[in-house]
Amino acid sequence: MKWDQSFSIGCDLVDIQHKELICLVDQLESSLESGLTPQQLGAALKFIVNYTRHHFSAEEAFMEKIGFDELENHKKLHSNLIKEVTDILLSLKHGENLNPENLVKFLVDWVLKHVQEEDQKIGMFARNRKHLAEQTECKLKAEHSRRQLTLARLEKLKDLFKQKLIKIEDFKEQKVKTFTNMLREVGLNQLRAGFDDLYYFLSQSVICNHELKAIVVSFLQTSDLQKGLAEIIEIEDRLLYLRSFQEFEMITDDQFDNYKAEILDAL
């Protein structure tokens, strides 16, 4: 067996050690063919156990670092192997006549199976975690640029007002429009993110409660509830969208219950 990139678990140090370990068990297998005395076999096994022990601690540190969810179970597999090989070494030391071929086969099979199957779970977990972290980072960047863009538009409005190019009524109207457009640009399938932005601006006193209500109402007034519900993919988002209509008294409680029942029926 040869190490290839598909065995990578996403940690250079552990990957290098896996390559080395595969190479070591390969050498052990070849030297068996040329015949080994119990002493030679003992020495080779001892070397592999020491190397494996050193490798396991690096791999366990990596698992801890990434928060691997099967850490305890994986550690148990490691300690079981160390214990088994240590017992074998003791038996050899006490002169017990063990079959070298069986010993080497056990060790080779264990290492190969472990690297190919068990360690791959660590690799998969690390890749998913990285993907999630990238997604979160991407989401945060999008959120930041969306908020910055809205603030820049608001600044422009303020300038127009300061220069007396628009009246206070126009400023207030355009301000509501700016935030309503922000919600539209975010889109119905990300309405939660759009509402988060609004509540963020409320917490920063960029808008007040009264403006928040005006923005949401203006957004909902230009939105067709039925079409919107058909367009939204996630059930949670559909319910949030529907609840907004009820909260701002744009539908009756009966209508709310009926639409809600339709959404839940689709589950």
Residues of this chain that interact with Fe ion (CB under 5 A) are 59, 119
Identity of the residue, 76 or 105, whose beta carbon is nearer to Fe ion in the bound complex: 76
Among the listed residues 77, 14, 82, 1, the one whose alpha carbon sits nearest the alpha carbon of residue 48: 82
Minimum Å gap between C-beta 181 and Fe ion is: 53
* Nearest position to Fe ion, beta carbon: 119
Q: Locate 195 and state its tokens.
A: 């509402």
Q: What is the DSSP string of 2-65?
A: ---GGG--S-HHHHHHHHHHHHHHHHHHHHHHT---HHHHHHHHHHHHHHHHHHHHHHHHHHHH
Identity of the residue, 9 or 44, whose beta carbon is nearer to Fe ion in the bound complex: 9
Q: Which residues contact 237 (CB under 8 A, 6 or more apart)?
A: 188, 189, 191, 192
Q: How many Å apart are CA 260 and CA 47, to the nearest integer?
A: 67
Cβ pair 229, 238 in contact under 8 A: yes
Minimum Å gap between C-beta 84 and Fe ion is: 15
Minimum Å gap between C-beta 59 and Fe ion is: 5
Minimum Å gap between C-beta 26 and Fe ion is: 18
Identity of the residue, 127 or 162, whose beta carbon is nearer to Fe ion in the bound complex: 127
Q: How many Å apart are CA 250 and CA 243, to the nearest integer?
A: 10
Identity of the residue, 59 or 237, whose beta carbon is nearer to Fe ion in the bound complex: 59
Instruction: Work out the burial of residue 264: count CB atoms within 10 Å of its CB; fewer than 13 is exposed, 13-18 middle, 19 or more buried.
Output: exposed
Identity of the residue, 57 or 204, whose beta carbon is nearer to Fe ion in the bound complex: 57
Minimum Å gap between C-beta 106 and Fe ion is: 17
Minimum Å gap between C-beta 74 and Fe ion is: 6
Among the listed residues 253, 225, 247, the one whose alpha carbon sits nearest the alpha carbon of residue 238: 225
Q: How many Å apart are CA 224 and CA 226, to the nearest integer?
A: 6
Identity of the residue, 73 or 136, whose beta carbon is nearer to Fe ion in the bound complex: 73
Instruction: Work out the burial of residue 118: count CB atoms within 10 Å of its CB; fewer than 13 is exposed, 13-18 middle, 19 or more buried.
Output: middle
Q: Locate 49 and state its tokens.
A: 């156990």
Identity of the residue, 119 or 237, whose beta carbon is nearer to Fe ion in the bound complex: 119
Minimum Å gap between C-beta 18 and Fe ion is: 9
